[in-house]
Amino acid sequence: MPRIRCFMIEPSGRARLSLRRYAAADCPAAPKRGYHNAEATLFEVDEWLEPSGDSDRKVFRHDGPQRREEVPVGHRDRWPARCACGYAFVESDTWQIFSESLYRRTDSGEIVTLRDAPAGAMWWLTWMEGFFHPQLGTSPLCVMTPGGEWIIDSRCSNCTMPDDYNQERHHCWIAHGLPPDVTVDKAGITCGAGAGSIQAGSYHGFLRNGYLED
């Protein structure tokens, strides 16, 4: 696999709302998903982070409709009627206003969501301050690999020091540099797991000097 250049994405202060219907059931269109699903894009709204109220974690809020009955009258006929497999949703199936944060690439200005962010995208997990001990900033750092998200400041699944919760003393991956030009290795106070690489889905690779590489 060719080297993938990393780039930063930052919150735009906007979110995209969608009208979503889903129902728990085996779905021929997506058998691994385990439910019928359909979405219809609604519109964009302003978004911000604020304390959740019951913990140190922050949550995203927006100024758009929150419940089915709050959808503007002119948009209420846009709720999806069917899943891609043909299943017709019924009244008792879930009605959800789905919100996705919009991020802006700092290199090109392109707007993306985390769901469609390409491999190489890197961002700060600003809503997870306090959950990990950040090495390079005030928030944990995450990068999208070809196999999925990698939270560099998190605990790896094969950590050899699982009872050591003092992340000021121990990180499974050691990060160096100024994002997105980051190198991840084991050069620091760390455990004996791996050699600084990441296994995400079927992808296995390294982050070196701002590039994901095999």
Whether the predicted pLDDT of 22 surpasses 80 = yes
Q: What's the pLDDT at 166?
A: 63
Q: What's the pLDDT at 54?
A: 66
**Predicted confidence band of residue 18 (pLDDT cuts 50, 70, 90):** very high
Q: What's the pLDDT at 131?
A: 79
The one-letter code for the residue type at 37 is N
The mean pLDDT value for 145-168 works out to 87
Non-local (6+) Cβ contacts of 159 within 8 A are: 172, 191, 193
pLDDT in tens, 166-178: 656 789 999 999 9
More confident residue, 71 or 31: 71
Q: What's the pLDDT at 130?
A: 77
Q: Is the dihedral of CA 51, 55, 57, 60 positive or negative?
A: negative
pLDDT in tens, 82-140: 999 999 999 999 999 999 999 999 999 999 999 999 999 999 999 988 778 899 999 99
b/e code 79-100 from CB counts within 10 Å (16+ = b): bbeebeeebebeeebebebebb
Q: What's the pLDDT at 132?
A: 85
| Integer Cα distance of 214 and 198 in angstroms | 10
Write 197-206 long-range contacts (CB < 8 A, 24+): 198/145, 198/150, 198/173, 199/147, 200/145, 200/146, 200/147, 200/148, 200/149, 200/150, 201/146, 201/147, 201/148, 202/147, 203/1, 203/145, 203/146, 203/147, 203/148, 205/1, 205/145, 205/146
**Average pLDDT score over the chain:** 94
pLDDT in tens, 25-38: 999 999 889 999 99
Q: What's the pLDDT at 167?
A: 58
b/e code 180-208 from CB counts within 10 Å (16+ = b): bebbbbbeeebbebbebbbebeebebebb
**Predicted confidence band of residue 164 (pLDDT cuts 50, 70, 90):** confident
- Judged on CB neighbours under 10 Å (0-12, 13-18, 19+), 55 is exposed
pTM above 0.85, yes or no: yes
